[in-house]
């Protein structure tokens, strides 16, 4: 039998191999903890002072042995001469897999004694099994490390010498104090010994006992001093581990007795496990915010000079995992430095060097949270900020899935009930918007009522306090403050900034100023790192220093402040989010299904997320001409075989209507299709359309859905299976199919809708409509599910009864609790108390565990991506894609480009990355215990039965920030595949790289750099910048030709990542990739939104399409794949998806009636949809004339809808008309009507409004 061998691969993060320069020693100790190395050095010094003949010792930090070549060199030059090797691994073998395996193999071959010890106080059977020493010896050495301290380390070394045959006087591990107080200059202080000031609040500082034992306390001393200068008394507490029961109990007692009002936590990881029930923490007793302060494992110069902020390891340990416990990220306050070489163990002894201004910022942030906590509700001043983009008056209060103004009214009412000073108010959400719009906005300042302003003198004071680099950048780009659109000349003073904000007592409601692209779009669209203008800074200066806000709320996903230029995480004072926002307590209501962009606010703007529910979902169903067609099709099939003359007439009527409304194109009827095939395609398409999930209105923050919206949402939450899909976790409609004993090969979630139904027809599913197809059966099951949810009928059997019991016993109460929980969450955060964390994701994609909302959501452990489940979906989707492409084009694809977002990969566990790897023929490798990705294997070409695909990724800015490890994984895999010796028809990636290397060398580039550039397959935004560059051009009409759009996309995305490059400018490389791709991919992972809901889709997907078309001179197919049901991904062309969304949602009266319940914001949603439809026409050429026709008829020619727009948001009506006019003027839409021009002209001018 022939075995196909996979090729293993390691992940290269671009770091250089290092030589530690150590001579062999009898004992070698491997650890990732610098504090442990410091203790070893001190203990060895003591040992040698007592016994000059004690065994020699070497210690190495595993962080210096991350590169495989470094491991190989260390084994050869140092470890090979050892007699005993002790390794301590936090996270088990998976933490250092290559090194663990190589060290174990060397020790076994050479007979070197070996002890692998867990890095924490939890046993690890796998490490025990890899050790060669007896279990009792390994356990004893582990306990020396667990107890810690120089004394225990000295006896560890003595015991190690004993194991080597030296007679020594060693003692058993001695328990040390697990936690306690620290104060500079005091020994074992009590609470009474700590300096205290009357009326001062208290901030606890929690840090590892190992720092205390190693006297590595500069950063703790610096935090104590910074807190003191901020008017806060410090309560420094060390702990061996917060997971240690004794230490946790001690910490809790000290927090309570010490009166802590906030916690500054310097320990890493999390007590809770992502996705599992929350674990109680010792901080819970004081119900206080927990600020995560980072003691970085990197060095300060790399942090200052780079844009990444923290390493992938630091992000996982000190950022992502602490978020699981609900901690608020403050700043990185120290970095490793001050290294000295210890000659005895030949290792560097390092300590944490504090950064003064980072400690100061963190202390000020703590002081501001304490001020918020101890200020009475009546005296608290709260700023509420609405996003506004595009910068038009029709689009005030942007919040994805959220009726922002209505939710704000709910919040204001809750604040008033809680004792906040809320003067005045509004009866309706439209009234709130009308009042806001009467003041200055991003659309206009002149002629508006100015309620608040900031004098130029006060602005200069604020501006002068900013770092010089910030001032220079703003002045260089925007000139004098007096040139800003919000500036007004003063008659008796130097002038002021008119601000888009007003007060309701001690609540201020404002409109976030534009980033600046609207001021000069032609000059700024090539500036992905555009700094904000003076008016922007003035707005936040007023909030902070004139209004004196105690806290600010950015209302809904999402504003632009957290996306300003600067580091990805661990910001410096030169980063614009910090310069603008400062150390302000930040509360951010955010949709629960978008962990990525919410995480950006957490990491770059110290936000506490208050997650909110998604909009209610419902079935699209049939309407209007689609309903007419459905009835005609049913009549046709019923008449088949009985009335040939009737069939002929019906067939003609059906196809005439199908072609007249453009449905023939949407459902894929080809020129060569005969009538029967055309009818079959139409029938299937109509069935699929009416089962699509669409939103029924918007969510209102603080209100749970009820009535029809509640029932439909509960059906949507039970539609797909949860967990293992068994019992109560089963799909409700699958459970009903099981109860009805339907054929085992029938899956209501994945069946050919147009195929004839051959199963039983139980009476419980009877109805007056035709029942002839699988689609009819699915429709009847959906109807019965709704009646079951409403309690109108009983379950048909035990399978559905189990699901219904869960709905009625748990899910219904959970959903109805969301509204109150959201308001409670906001009030909790505004009280300066701890807001409970919760997981995030798309509830209707099998994730009801993210409910109830109102929690501070967290994302994922980035080290585990892509997950095995994501790999399964990615592999399936990749295979479907190449097969679909081959069917359409006659051959397999060899070059593809994938648009890849961070938030989608957080929701799915890495579907996109798994798909990219699968296309290349690469499979991730996971550590069985920790589930972390440890490497990859290249699958044999014979196993693929197709060519490997050359895949280029265009990642989002947030993906770059959140997933540096995934960038390294894809880059390493692509380079490994490119290095294979395989034929070009089997491995086009290798052939393409080789050809490009030769091309680059011919230009004079050396081979190493040529290979580095030719092998790049991950491109993204400029370091510190975000987006794809098309939004301002589209919004401000700043483009003339397609080339302008392509140019912007390439300018913003032409930065290469991977192989140690943090965004190296390589536009020509990006152009080479996109100019030769055969297809473009974008995956959508849930149906809680669609591609006409957001500008991101057209920017990334459409932008890539127009760039590829411009570069290659021909249209490149774009696939918009549906991953909303992980078991059954669907591959669709972009134009197909747009057609489905237009039919099922955009012009569906059911959706229109839903948004009309929301007044101004509903009209906002309609205008936004038209904008995004237009943008896809401009970029991807994926919108047909009949789609624009349908929108024109539904929005502007329906009297009820047009009157709604005119009454609630006349600016939206004008914007819709203007955008449709632009579509005609640019040749993107030719209407079948002859009167659209005059109608649009009247409406866009305002005379029809």
Taking the domains of the chain in order of start, what are their residue ranges? 27-163, 179-371, 381-560+598-617, 621-690, 707-804, 862-1132
Q: Would the pLDDT of 643 be above 90?
A: no
Please tell me the distance from the alpha carbon of residue 988 to that of residue 982, in angstroms, as a whole number.
Answer: 9
If you average pLDDT over residues 204-222, what whole number do you get? 96
Q: What is the pLDDT of residues 554-602, one digit of tens each?
A: 999 999 999 999 999 999 999 999 999 999 999 999 999 999 999 999 9
Please tell me the distance from the alpha carbon of residue 263 to that of residue 287, in angstroms, as a whole number.
Answer: 10
Q: How far is CA 997 from CA 718, 787, 978, 982, in A?
A: 53, 64, 11, 17
Other CB atoms within 10 Å distance of the CB of residue 714: 26
Burial status of residue 813 (CB atoms within 10 A of its CB: 0-12, 13-18, 19 or more): exposed
Checking DSSP bridges between strand 260-265 and strand 233-239, what pairing results, if any? Answer: unpaired
Q: Would the pLDDT of 3 be above 60?
A: no
Do the Cβ atoms of 693 and 844 come closer than 8 Å? yes
Q: What residues have CB less than 8 Å from 236, skipping those under 6 apart?
A: 181, 182, 183, 204, 205, 207, 220, 223, 224
Q: What is the pLDDT of residues 1088-1104, one digit of tens each?
A: 999 999 999 999 999 99
Global pTM value: 0.96
Which helix (H) or strand (E) segment holds residue 1019: the answer is: strand 1018-1020
Secondary structure (H, E, C), 742-781: CCCCCCCCCCCCCCECCCCCCHHHCCCCCCCEHHHHHHHH
Q: What confidence score (pLDDT) does residue 2 get?
A: 37
User: At 440, is the pLDDT very low, low, confident or very high (cuts 50, 70, 90)?
Assistant: very high
If you average pLDDT over residues 335-348, what whole number do you get? 91
* Residue 643 DSSP SS3: coil
Do the Cβ atoms of 54 and 161 come closer than 8 Å? yes
If you average pLDDT over residues 875-901, what whole number do you get? 98
Secondary structure (H, E, C), 289-315: CEEEEEECCCCHHHHHHCCCCCCHHHH
Q: Would the pLDDT of 126 be above 90?
A: yes
User: At 519, is the pLDDT very low, low, confident or very high (cuts 50, 70, 90)?
Assistant: confident
Q: What is the pLDDT of residues 395-428, one digit of tens each?
A: 999 999 999 999 999 999 999 999 999 999 999 9
Burial 604-636 (b: 16+ CB within 10 A, else e): bbbbbbbbbbbbbbbbbbbbeebeebbebbbbb
Burial 1011-1039 (b: 16+ CB within 10 A, else e): bbbbbbbbbbbbbbbbbbbbbbbbbbebb
Q: What confidence score (pLDDT) does residue 979 get?
A: 97
Q: What confidence score (pLDDT) does residue 121 get?
A: 86
Burial 47-56 (b: 16+ CB within 10 A, else e): bbeeeeebbb
Q: What confidence score (pLDDT) does residue 1216 get?
A: 98
Q: What confidence score (pLDDT) does residue 1249 get?
A: 66
If you average pLDDT over residues 963-989, what whole number do you get? 97
If you average pLDDT over residues 171-199, what whole number do you get? 96
Cα angle 662, 663, 666; round to 5: 100
Q: Would the pLDDT of 719 be above 60?
A: yes
Q: Would the pLDDT of 10 be above 80?
A: no
Please tell me the distance from the alpha carbon of residue 1012 to that of residue 1024, in angstroms, as a whole number.
Answer: 23
Tokens representing residue 367 in the block: 């002081």
Please tell me the distance from the alpha carbon of residue 593 to that of residue 598, in angstroms, as a whole number.
Answer: 9
Q: What residues have CB less than 8 Å from 302, skipping those under 6 apart?
A: none
Tokens 């679909």 belong to residue: 884
Tokens 């909030």 belong to residue: 543
Q: What residues have CB less than 8 Å from 497, skipping those under 6 apart?
A: 453, 454, 456, 459, 481, 484, 486, 487, 488, 534, 535, 538, 539, 542
Checking DSSP bridges between strand 290-295 and strand 837-838, what pairing results, if any? Answer: unpaired
Do the Cβ atoms of 241 and 233 come closer than 8 Å? no
Q: What is the pLDDT of residues 1035-1066, one digit of tens each?
A: 999 999 999 999 999 999 999 999 888 899 99
Q: What is the pLDDT of residues 276-286, one digit of tens each?
A: 999 999 999 99
If you average pLDDT over residues 112-133, what whole number do you get? 95
Q: What is the pLDDT of residues 445-504, one digit of tens each?
A: 999 999 999 999 999 999 999 999 999 999 999 999 999 999 999 887 889 999 999 999
Q: What confidence score (pLDDT) does residue 642 get?
A: 77
Distance of CA 159 to the CA centre of its chain: 49
In CATH, 27-163 is 3.40.50: yes
Q: How far is CA 909 from CA 853, 864, 939, in A?
A: 21, 8, 22
Tokens representing residue 1151 in the block: 């959706």
Do the Cβ atoms of 594 and 666 come closer than 8 Å? no
Q: What is the pLDDT of residues 593-631, one digit of tens each?
A: 999 999 999 999 999 999 999 999 999 999 999 999 999
Tokens 């280029």 belong to residue: 952
Tokens 């602490």 belong to residue: 322
Q: What is the pLDDT of residues 782-829, one digit of tens each?
A: 999 999 999 999 999 999 999 999 999 999 999 999 999 999 999 999
Neighbour order of strands in the sheet with 260-265: 179-181, 233-239, 202-208, 260-265, 290-295, 328-342, 347-354
Burial status of residue 384 (CB atoms within 10 A of its CB: 0-12, 13-18, 19 or more): buried
Q: What is the pLDDT of residues 285-322, one digit of tens each?
A: 999 999 999 999 999 999 999 999 999 999 999 999 99
Q: Would the pLDDT of 334 be above 50?
A: yes
Q: How far is CA 259 from CA 256, 267, 377, 987, 1133, in A?
A: 5, 20, 21, 65, 61
Q: Would the pLDDT of 11 be above 50?
A: yes
Q: What confidence score (pLDDT) does residue 530 get?
A: 95
If you average pLDDT over residues 1128-1140, what whole number do you get? 97
Out of 1.10.287, 3.30.1490, 2.40.30, 3.40.50, which CATH number does the structure's domain 179-371 have? 3.40.50
User: At 5, is the pLDDT very low, low, confident or very high (cuts 50, 70, 90)?
Assistant: low
Mean of per-residue pLDDT scores for the chain: 96
Checking DSSP bridges between strand 933-938 and strand 922-926, what pairing results, if any? Answer: antiparallel
């Amino acid at each position: 039998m022939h075995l196909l061998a996979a090729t293993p691969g390691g992940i290269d993060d671009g770091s250089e191999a290092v030589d530690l320069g150590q001579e062999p020693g009898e004992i070698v100790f491997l650890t990732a903890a610098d504090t442990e190395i410091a203790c070893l050095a001190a203990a060895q010094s003591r040992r040698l002072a007592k016994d000059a003949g004690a065994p020699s010792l070497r210690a190495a930090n595993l962080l210096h042995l991350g590169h495989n070549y470094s491991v190989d060199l260390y084994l050869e030059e140092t470890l090979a001469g050892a007699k005993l090797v002790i390794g301590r691994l936090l996270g088990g073998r998976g933490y250092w897999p290559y090194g663990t395996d190589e060290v174990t193999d060397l020790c076994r071959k050479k007979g070197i004694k070996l002890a692998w010890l867990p890095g924490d106080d939890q046993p690890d059977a796998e490490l025990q099994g890899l050790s060669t020493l007896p279990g009792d010896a390994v356990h004893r050495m582990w306990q020396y490390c667990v107890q810690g301290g120089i004394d225990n380390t000295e006896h560890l070394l003595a015991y190690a010498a004993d194991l080597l045959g030296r007679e020594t006087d060693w003692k058993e591990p001695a328990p040390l104090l697990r936690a306690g107080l620290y104060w500079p200059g005091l020994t074992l202080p009590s609470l009474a010994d700590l300096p205290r000031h009357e009326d001062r609040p208290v901030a606890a500082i929690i840090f590892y006992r190992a720092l205390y034992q190693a006297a590595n306390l500069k950063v703790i001393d610096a935090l104590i001093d910074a807190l003191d200068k901020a008017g806060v008394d410090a309560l420094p507490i060390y702990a061996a581990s917060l997971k240690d029961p004794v230490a946790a109990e001690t910490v809790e007692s000290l927090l309570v007795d010490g009166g802590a009002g906030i916690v500054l936590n310097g320990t890493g990881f999390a007590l809770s496990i992502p996705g599992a029930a929350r674990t109680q923490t010792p901080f819970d007793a004081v119900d206080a915010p927990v600020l995560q302060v980072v003691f970085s494992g990197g060095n300060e110069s790399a942090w200052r000079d780079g844009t990444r902020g923290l390493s992938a390891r630091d992000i996982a340990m000190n950022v992502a995992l602490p978020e699981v416990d609900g901690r608020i990220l403050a700043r990185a306050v120290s970095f490793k430095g001050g290294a000295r070489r210890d000659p005895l163990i030949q290792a560097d002894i390092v300590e944490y060097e504090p950064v003064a201004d980072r400690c100061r910022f963190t202390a000020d942030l703590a002081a501001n949270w304490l001020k918020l906590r101890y200020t009475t509700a009546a005296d608290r001043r709260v700023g509420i900020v609405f996003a506004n983009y595009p910068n038009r008056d029709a689009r005030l209060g942007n919040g994805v899935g959220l009726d922002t103004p209505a939710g704000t009214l709910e919040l204001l009412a809750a604040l008033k009930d809680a004792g906040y000073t809320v003067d005045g108010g509004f009866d309706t959400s439209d009234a709130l918007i009308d009042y806001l719009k009467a003041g200055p906005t991003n659309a206009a300042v002149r002629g508006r009522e100015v309620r608040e302003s900031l004098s130029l003198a006060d602005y200069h004071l604020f501006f002068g306090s900013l770092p010089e680099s910030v001032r220079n950048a703003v002045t260089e780009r925007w000139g004098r403050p007096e040139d800003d659109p919000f500036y007004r000349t003063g008659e008796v003073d130097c002038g002021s900034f008119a601000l888009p904000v007003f007060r309701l007592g001690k609540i201020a409601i404002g409109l976030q100023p534009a980033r600046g692209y609207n001021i000069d779009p032609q000059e700024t669209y090539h500036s992905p790192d555009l700094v904000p203008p003076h008016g922007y800074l003035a707005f936040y200066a007023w909030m902070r220093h004139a209004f004196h806000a105690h806290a600010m709320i950015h209302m809904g996903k999402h504003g632009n402040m957290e996306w300003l230029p600067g580091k990805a995480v661990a910001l410096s004072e030169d980063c614009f989010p910090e310069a603008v926002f400062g150390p302000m307590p930040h509360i951010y209501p955010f949709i629960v299904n978008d962990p990525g962009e919410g995480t950006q606010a957490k990491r770059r703007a110290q936000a506490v997320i208050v997650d909110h529910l998604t909009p209610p979902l419902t079935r699209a169903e049939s309407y209007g001409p689609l309903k007419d067609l459905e009835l005609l099709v049913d009549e046709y099939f019923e008449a088949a075989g009985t009335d040939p003359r009737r069939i002929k007439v019906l067939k003609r009527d059906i196809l005439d209507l199908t072609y007249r409304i453009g449905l023939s194109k949407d459902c894929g009827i080809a020129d060569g299709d005969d009538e029967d095939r055309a009818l079959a395609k139409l029938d299937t398409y109509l069935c699929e359309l009416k089962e699509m999930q669409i939103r029924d209105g918007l969510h209102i923050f603080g209100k749970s859905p009820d009535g029809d919206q509640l029932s439909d949402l509960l059906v949507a939450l039970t539609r797909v299976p949860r967990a293992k899909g068994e019992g109560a976790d089963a799909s409700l409609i699958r459970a009903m199919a099981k109860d009805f004993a339907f054929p085992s090969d029938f899956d209501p979630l994945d069946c050919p809708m147009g195929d004839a139904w051959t199963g039983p027809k139980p009476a419980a599913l009877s109805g007056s409509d035709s029942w002839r197809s699988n689609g009819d059966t699915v429709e009847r099951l959906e109807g019965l599910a709704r009646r079951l949810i409403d309690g109108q009928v009983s379950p048909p059997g035990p399978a559905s009864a189990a699901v219904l019991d869960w709905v009625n016993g748990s899910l219904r109460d959970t959903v109805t609790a969301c509204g109150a929980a959201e308001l409670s969450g906001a009030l909790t955060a505004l009280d300066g108390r701890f807001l409970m964390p919760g997981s995030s994701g798309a509830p209707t994609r099998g994730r009801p565990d993210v409910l109830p909302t109102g929690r501070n959501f967290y994302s994922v452990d980035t080290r585990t991506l892509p997950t095995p489940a994501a790999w399964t979906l990615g592999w399936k989707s990749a295979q479907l894609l190449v097969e679909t492409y081959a069917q359409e084009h006659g051959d397999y694809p060899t070059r593809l480009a994938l648009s890849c977002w961070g938030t989608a990969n957080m929701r799915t566990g890495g579907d996109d990355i798994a798909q990219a790897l699968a296309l290349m023929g690469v499979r991730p490798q996971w550590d069985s215990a920790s589930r972390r990705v440890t490497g990859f294997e290249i699958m044999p070409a014979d196993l693929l039965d197709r060519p490997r695909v050359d895949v280029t990724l265009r990642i989002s800015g947030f993906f770059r920030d959140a997933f540096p490890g995934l960038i390294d994984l894809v880059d390493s895999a692509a380079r490994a595949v490119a290095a294979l010796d395989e034929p070009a028809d089997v491995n086009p990636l290798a052939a393409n790289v080789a050809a490009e290397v030769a091309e680059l060398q011919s230009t004079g580039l050396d081979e190493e750099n040529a290979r580095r550039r030719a092998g790049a397959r991950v491109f993204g935004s400029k370091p510190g910048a975000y987006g794809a560059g098309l939004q301002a051009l589209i919004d401000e009409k700043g483009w003339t030709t397609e080339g302008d759009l392509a140019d912007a996309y390439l300018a913003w995305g032409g930065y290469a990542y991977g192989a140690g490059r943090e965004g190296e400018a390589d536009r020509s490389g990006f152009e080479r990739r996109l100019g030769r791709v055969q297809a473009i991919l974008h995956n959508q992972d849930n149906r809680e939104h669609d591609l006409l809901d957001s500008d991101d889709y057209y920017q990334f997907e459409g932008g890539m399409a127009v760039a590829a078309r411009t570069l290659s001179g021909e249209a490149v197919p774009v696939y918009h794949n549906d991953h909303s049901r992980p078991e059954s991904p669907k591959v669709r062309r972009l134009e197909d998806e747009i057609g489905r969304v237009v039919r099922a949602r955009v012009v569906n009266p059911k959706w229109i009636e839903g948004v009309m319940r929301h007044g101004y914001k509903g009209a906002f949603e309609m205008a936004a949809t038209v904008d995004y439809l237009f943008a896809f026409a401009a970029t991807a050429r994926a919108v047909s004339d009949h789609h624009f026709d349908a929108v024109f008829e539904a929005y502007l020619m329906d009297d009820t809808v047009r009157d709604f727009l005119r009454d609630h948001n006349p600016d939206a009506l004008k914007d819709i008309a203007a955008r449709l006019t632009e579509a005609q003027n640019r040749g993107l839409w030719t209407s079948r009507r002859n009167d659209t021009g005059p109608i649009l002209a009247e409406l866009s001018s305002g005379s029809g409004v």
